[in-house]
C-alpha cells in the first residue's frame, strides 16, 4: 500500500466519499455526513487529504484533516479536525485505518497543529475502538453534530515539535 496526497475533489476522493456517505446512510438512516466541507479545507498548510492505494493502484482507504481554531462550534485554537476516515469493506482488518491515522497525525503535527480532534457516532463502534486504542480520549463535543445524542467526540494531543 502507498499513500498519496490528493485534492479533496480528486476523482478517487469523490468516489470514496460517495462510498462513505452511503455507509453513513446505512448505519444512521439519514443522508450522510452533513458537515460542510470544501476542497480548500484540505489544502496544505491548512489541511491535507490522503488516499491509500493497493498494489493494483486501486483506492482503498482515505482520510483528511483540516485546521480548526476557536469557533462557535466548540473548536479550540490549534485543532486539526479528522474527516472522512474510510477503508473499503474488502480491505478492512488489515491495519489500513491505523496507518492512515498515523500519517494524518504526522502531517498535522508537522503543520504545527496542537491536537487532533474527531467526531464519530455510536453506530461506528470499530471507529471508536481504533481511536481509543490510538490514544484518543473523549472531549467536549464540537462541530455540526455536537447536539446529537449519538455523537461522540475525541481528542489527542499532537505535541508539535518545539512546543
Residue pLDDT tens, the chain, 163 long: 899 999 999 999 999 999 999 998 899 887 678 788 999 999 999 999 999 999 999 999 999 999 999 888 888 899 999 999 999 999 999 999 999 999 999 999 999 999 999 999 999 999 999 999 999 999 999 988 888 888 999 999 998 554 4
3-class state of residue 86 by DSSP: strand
pLDDT, residue 161, reads 52
| CA 97 vs CA 34, 93, 140, 146, 163: distances in Å | 22, 9, 24, 24, 28
DSSP label of 78: T
Lookup: cell for 112: 504545527
**Cα–Cα distances in angstroms (integers) from residue 74 to residues 31, 80, 86, 102, 144, in the given order:** 24, 13, 24, 24, 10
| Predicted pLDDT at 163 | 47
According to the model, what pLDDT value does residue 162 have? 46
**What is the C-alpha separation between 42 and 17, in angstroms, rounded?**
14
Domains of the chain, each with CATH number or no CATH: 2-157 (3.40.630.30)
The cell for 88 is 473499503
Amino acid at each position: 500500500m502507498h499513500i498519496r496526497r490528493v485534492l479533496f475533489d480528486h476523482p478517487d476522493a469523490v468516489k470514496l466519499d460517495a462510498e462513505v456517505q452511503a455507509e453513513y446512510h446505512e448505519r444512521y438512516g439519514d443522508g450522510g455526513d452533513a458537515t460542510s466541507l470544501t476542497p480548500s479545507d484540505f489544502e496544505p498548510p491548512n489541511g491535507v487529504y490522503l488516499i491509500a492505494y493497493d498494489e493494483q493502484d486501486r483506492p482503498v482507504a482515505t482520510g483528511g484533516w483540516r485546521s480548526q481554531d476557536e469557533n462557535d462550534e466548540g473548536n479550540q485554537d490549534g485543532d486539526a479536525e479528522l474527516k472522512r476516515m474510510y477503508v473499503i469493506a474488502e480491505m478492512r482488518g488489515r491495519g489500513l485505518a491505523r496507518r492512515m491515522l498515523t500519517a494524518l497525525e504526522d502531517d498535522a503535527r508537522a503543520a504545527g497543529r496542537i491536537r487532533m480532534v474527531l467526531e464519530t457516532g455510536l453506530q461506528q463502534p470499530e471507529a471508536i475502538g481504533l481511536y481509543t486504542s490510538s490514544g484518543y480520549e473523549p472531549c467536549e463535543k464540537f462541530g455540526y453534530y455536537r447536539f446529537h445524542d449519538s455523537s461522540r467526540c475525541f481528542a489527542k494531543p499532537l505535541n508539535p515539535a518545539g512546543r
